[in-house]
Amino acid sequence: MSSGFVKSNGSSGDLSTNPDFRAGAKAPRHGGIADGPYRFSFVVTLIVAIALISAGVALITLASKGDMEIAVGGTILKTETVGIAVIVLGAFLVISSVGRNLSSIKRLRELIN
């Protein structure tokens, strides 16, 4: 007699006899945005990086209209400095995210060509 439960298709729910749960079995891949270089975290990271770069450009544009300063942690900084720092942070996010997913991007390019 098998321990465990019986699934609706009649197979045993016992992990030792059910081939769906054999050692080393991997979950099936379904494609879509969750696979390859377009993983959800990759896309979110790129969106955040683009938003940071846009915010940095907006800060620099605002600073060009007049002499503005921003207080960051009790330190008063010029707006241009903060804008450049935000742009650099966004660029770092893009570079690190693309670098982490470079092998997947290369594999995708090979599949397309």
Amino acid 22: pLDDT: 55
Query: For residue 78, what are its two tokens?
Result: 């010029």
Q: How do residues 62-80 score in pLDDT, each as one tens digit? A: 888 887 888 878 888 888 8
DSSP letters, 16-42, are TT-GGG-TT--PPP--STTSGGG-HHH
Which domain, by its residues, includes 14?
1-30
Query: For residue 18, what are its two tokens?
Result: 């059910």
Q: What is the pTM of this model?
A: 0.56
Amino acid 55: pLDDT: 93
Q: Are residues 50 and 82 in the same domain?
A: yes
What share of the chain has pLDDT > 90, as a percent? 19
Q: Are residues 48 and 101 in the same domain?
A: yes
Residue type, 50: I
Give the helix ranges, DSSP H, for 1-113. Answer: 40-64, 79-100, 102-112
Q: Are residues 12 and 47 in the same domain?
A: no
Q: Are residues 24 and 49 in the same domain?
A: no
Paired sense of beta strands 69-72 and 75-78, if any = antiparallel
Q: Are residues 19 and 60 in the same domain?
A: no
Amino acid 96: pLDDT: 85
Q: Are residues 87 and 102 in the same domain?
A: yes
